Structure 1
Amino acid sequence: MATFIIEGGHQLKGSIQPQGAKNEALQILCAVLLTPETVTIHNIPDIIDVNKLISLLEKLGVKIEKIGSGSYTFKADEVNMKYLESAEFKEDGKGLRGSIMIVGPLLARFGKGYIPKPGGDKIGRRRLDTHFEGFINLGAKFRYNREEHFYGVEADRLKGAYMLLDEASVTGTANIVMAAVLAEGTTTIYNAACEPYLQQLCKMLNRMGAKISGVGSNMLIIEGVDNLKGTDHKMLPDMIEIGSWIGLAAMTKSELTIKNVSWDDLGQIPDVFRKLGITVERKGEDIYIPAHKDGYEIQSYIDGSILTVADAPWPGFTPDLLSIVLVIATQARGSVLVHQKMFESRLFFVDKLIDMGAKIILCDPHRATVIGHDFKSSLKATTMTSPDIRAGVSLLIAALSAKGTSTIHNIEQIDRGYERIDERLRAIGAKITRVS
């Protein structure tokens, strides 16, 4: 188990390039299973979760070649379906939440898909019903081995159907879309997720020969085709990492430029940070954050009531950045209510911030009120353990702003979502060391 040693209280300066989007990568990589032709993907982040999925695809028989930094070719012309029934797959598939998205492509192309109950962040229940109800609507037979926690779906040929999803699940929508593109007839998915990363998947599938309309809306109409061809695809920058760097700049009173952020795909992210009092300037496709020497002040609503920042399906604010918002608020002027609606255990890391001197009231598993210090009292260095990717980065930002030396254990959780984060932070002046 590795650890970060962080000497906080230093201003940072310079520019930082966001990695490719983790959540897009997990969808796009699974889509290579839909064709026997070569698919070339660029801007793939070098992070644990993505590398695990690439390894899983390789064991499935996908021919993978690295052609440059973050660029790979994939050719799924000899998929080994027997691997799905092996003890090795039952172990490999458990370690990654994104592995669930191999099921849709395999079901569509080969008539069957299996998966052990996937792992991932410990942030409460993350049910899979939406995925499998979608496959059943397309005509698949579902089975579940309770003893081994092993799911399976099988079908001779999927048939298009109308479905109203019970929740706008991003991975659920992606999985159903990948199954429906090779189904017979027309599939309509209402209450579909419409995140930019899902839009990227649909655009890529259309370049491969799929017929998907309504991209960007919550109603997708898919006319099934017999086969798909290869394509080239470049992934978007990771919006969660972009939000993390905005928070880092504010908390450390640093002047930072975040390069090539694809502004049009950021949605509400810049405006939410502006409501927290942070200056977010657009310079072409870059974000410029000036040094907040006088701090930053949280806005109130027009009637004077306390600002609430809550998550919601796109185009609402992403739940992955609520932990960053919470940390930023600890040093703001004013107060904010953070309402985490979509996951039930994501706010439990606030006890570590309270230990550092933050004024936070955890109202219940979903809501926390933060009273900002306005930098009149700095957070105190401490020793802590990273519980999941997003909380881990939030604690890292808190440590970089705190006076003294902090220790963060279990940083493999951070490595699951952030590429070479310690190297990139050192390049802009952070005092951070990785030790085994």
Structure 2
Amino acid sequence: MGSFRVNGGIKLKGEIIPQGAKNEALQILCAVLLTSEKITISKIPNIVDVNKLIELLSDMGVKVTKEGPETYTFQADEVNLDFMATEEYLKKASALRGSVMLLGPLLARFGTGKLSKPGGDKIGRRRMDTHFTGFQKLGAKFNYDAKNEIFHIDGKNLKGCYMLLDEASVTGTANIVMAAVMAEGTTTVYNAACEPYLQQLCDMLNRMGAKISGVGSNLLTIEGVKKLGGTTHKMLPDMIEIGSFIGLAAMTQSEILIKDCQIPRLGIIPDTFRRMGIQLEFRGDDIFVPAQKHYEIETFIDGSILTVADAIWPGFTPDLLSIILVTATQAKGTILVHQKMFESRLFFVDKLIEMGAQIILCDPHRATVIGLDRKTDLRGIRMTSPDIRAGVALLIAALSASGTSIIDNIEQIDRGYQNIDDRLRALGAEIERIS
């Protein structure tokens, strides 16, 4: 296992470019299975989860060509379906949460799919009922081998239908849309997720010849087509990285310019950080965060404590709540962070408390943070990254703390953040990767 050694308390300065969006990449890469023609994708992030999925596609027979540092061409004209029956496939797929989105394209084009229970972050229950209920409504037959934790799906005669999703799951919606694009007839999906990454997927599929309307809303209509063709696609910048860099700048009193942010696609993320007292300046499509010694959390109009909670788009993304929480530790004021979707995602706060933060963990879903207003520095400690987002929150805390911190299990951070240590060093951070 690798670790980061971080010397904190250093003000950073410079420009940083967000990587391509991890959560979009996992959907878009699975979609290459929908056609035998070439698909060229640019701004693919060089991170563990994405690289694992590219390797898995290659093992399945997809021809993968690296055209540049962030650009790949994929051609799925000789997919080996027999590979899905091997232990190697099941093992590799189980190591990657995003592998579940292989099922929709496999059902649409080949009428069959098989998958072991996907892994990913240990952040509580992440049920997949929405995926499989949607497949069943399209006419697929579903079987779960509970002993071996293997899903078997037969979808040789998918037919369009109306469905109301039990939750607006992003990956569930993506999977159902990819299964429905070549189903017979018309599929209507209500309570669909409408995140920018899902909009990107739908736009790409439409360029490939799909007929999807209602993109950007929670009501999608999909007219099935017989065949899809090739296309080119460029990923959005990762909104979670952008939010992480805003929090990093505030915590370390740094002046940072975040480049090429696609600001109109960030939703309420900038305004949420502004409510925490963080100054942001839009310069074209860049976000400039000036160095601030103090930032003060707003209250609600009636004077009550500000609550930041996650919600389906266009609400606040759950992936940034860890960043909001850590950034609040040095703000002036108090905030309640309410993580509704996952019951284990706030447990990393014990490390922040050990560093000197004033946090009350109310229950698995809620934490109250009383900001220190820089009257006391956080102190460096040794800690372990439990998941991608908590890991980066702890990294931000370490960069702002006095003294040296060691962060173990940084493989979790590498799953979602591209060469993060190199990019932080370019801003002046003292961070090194150690064994």
TM-score, normalising length: structure 1: 0.99
Q: Could you tell me whether the CA contact under 8 Å between 2:108 and 2:179 is conserved in 1?
A: yes
Alpha-carbon distance in structure 2 between the residues aligned to 1:148 and 1:423: 41
Q: Could you tell me whether the CA contact under 8 Å between 1:335 and 1:369 is conserved in 2?
A: yes
Tell me which residue corresponds to 1:196: 196
Per-residue CA deviation, residues 171-202 of structure 1 (Å, 9 max, x unaligned), is 00000000000000000000000000000000
2:91 is equivalent to residue 55 of structure 1: no
Q: Could you tell me whether the CA contact under 8 Å between 2:181 and 2:222 is conserved in 1?
A: yes
Alpha-carbon distance in structure 1 between the residues aligned to 2:426 and 2:186: 51
Alpha-carbon distance in structure 1 between the residues aligned to 2:32 and 2:193: 21
Alpha-carbon distance in structure 2 between the residues aligned to 1:235 and 1:412: 23
Question: How do residues 292-307 of structure 1 correspond to structure 2 at under 5 angstroms?
Answer: 292-293=292-293, 295-307=294-306
2:69 is equivalent to residue 69 of structure 1: yes
Alpha-carbon distance in structure 2 between the residues aligned to 1:290 and 1:88: 49
2:369 is equivalent to residue 370 of structure 1: yes
Tell me which residue corresponds to 1:177: 177
Q: Could you tell me whether the CA contact under 8 Å between 2:107 and 2:156 is conserved in 1?
A: no
Alpha-carbon distance in structure 2 between the residues aligned to 1:249 and 1:223: 46
Question: How do residues 108-257 of structure 1 correspond to structure 2 at under 5 angstroms?
Answer: 108-257=108-257
Per-residue CA deviation, residues 286-327 of structure 1 (Å, 9 max, x unaligned), is 00000002x100000110000000000000000000000000
By how many angstroms is 1:157 displaced?
A: 1.8
Q: Could you tell me whether the CA contact under 8 Å between 1:181 and 1:223 is conserved in 2?
A: yes
Alpha-carbon distance in structure 2 between the residues aligned to 1:363 and 1:377: 23
Tell me which residue corresponds to 1:386: 385
By how many angstroms is 1:69 displaced?
A: 1.0
Alpha-carbon distance in structure 1 between the residues aligned to 2:275 and 2:152: 46
Alpha-carbon distance in structure 2 between the residues aligned to 1:94 and 1:142: 18
Counterpart amino acid of 2:360? I
Tell me which residue corresponds to 2:82: 82
Counterpart amino acid of 1:201? L
By how many angstroms is 1:328 displaced?
A: 0.5
Tell me which residue corresponds to 2:265: 265
Gaps of 5+ in 1: none
Tell me which residue corresponds to 1:97: 97
Alpha-carbon distance in structure 2 between the residues aligned to 1:98 and 1:4: 26
Alpha-carbon distance in structure 1 between the residues aligned to 2:3 and 2:332: 32
Per-residue CA deviation, residues 19-40 of structure 1 (Å, 9 max, x unaligned), is 0000000000000000000000
Per-residue CA deviation, residues 345-364 of structure 1 (Å, 9 max, x unaligned), is 00000000000000000000
Tell me which residue corresponds to 2:31: 31
Alpha-carbon distance in structure 1 between the residues aligned to 2:353 and 2:434: 26
Alpha-carbon distance in structure 1 between the residues aligned to 2:300 and 2:387: 32
Alpha-carbon distance in structure 1 between the residues aligned to 2:202 and 2:66: 24
Question: How do residues 276-425 of structure 1 correspond to structure 2 at under 5 angstroms?
Answer: 276-293=276-293, 295-425=294-424
Once the two structures are aligned, what percentage of the paired residues are identical?
70
Alpha-carbon distance in structure 1 between the residues aligned to 2:276 and 2:246: 11
By how many angstroms is 1:156 displaced?
A: 1.9
2:40 is equivalent to residue 40 of structure 1: yes
Alpha-carbon distance in structure 2 between the residues aligned to 1:254 and 1:155: 53
By how many angstroms is 1:155 displaced?
A: 2.1
Counterpart amino acid of 2:11? Q
Alpha-carbon distance in structure 1 between the residues aligned to 2:87 and 2:345: 32
Alpha-carbon distance in structure 2 between the residues aligned to 1:310 and 1:29: 30
Secondary structure of the corresponding residue to residue 332 of structure 2: coil
By how many angstroms is 1:252 displaced?
A: 0.2
Alpha-carbon distance in structure 1 between the residues aligned to 2:63 and 2:369: 50
Secondary structure of the corresponding residue to residue 267 of structure 1: coil
Q: Could you tell me whether the CA contact under 8 Å between 1:108 and 1:157 is conserved in 2?
A: no
Per-residue CA deviation, residues 389-419 of structure 1 (Å, 9 max, x unaligned), is 0000000000000000000000000000000
TM-score, normalising length: structure 2: 1.00
**Which runs of structure 1 show a deviation greater than 3 angstroms over 4 or more consecutive aligned residues?**
none
Gaps of 5+ in 2: none
Alpha-carbon distance in structure 1 between the residues aligned to 2:76 and 2:112: 16
By how many angstroms is 1:15 displaced?
A: 0.5
By how many angstroms is 1:221 displaced?
A: 0.2
2:427 is equivalent to residue 428 of structure 1: yes
Q: Could you tell me whether the CA contact under 8 Å between 2:309 and 2:321 is conserved in 1?
A: yes
Q: Could you tell me whether the CA contact under 8 Å between 2:20 and 2:235 is conserved in 1?
A: yes
Counterpart amino acid of 1:417? G
Alpha-carbon distance in structure 1 between the residues aligned to 2:88 and 2:69: 29
The two structures, once aligned, show a CA RMSD in angstroms of: 0.4
Alpha-carbon distance in structure 1 between the residues aligned to 2:38 and 2:250: 43
Counterpart amino acid of 1:386? S
Alpha-carbon distance in structure 1 between the residues aligned to 2:2 and 2:201: 34
Secondary structure of the corresponding residue to residue 68 of structure 1: coil
Alpha-carbon distance in structure 2 between the residues aligned to 1:120 and 1:151: 17
By how many angstroms is 1:280 displaced?
A: 1.1
Secondary structure of the corresponding residue to residue 434 of structure 1: strand
Alpha-carbon distance in structure 1 between the residues aligned to 2:330 and 2:401: 11
Q: Could you tell me whether the CA contact under 8 Å between 2:16 and 2:423 is conserved in 1?
A: yes
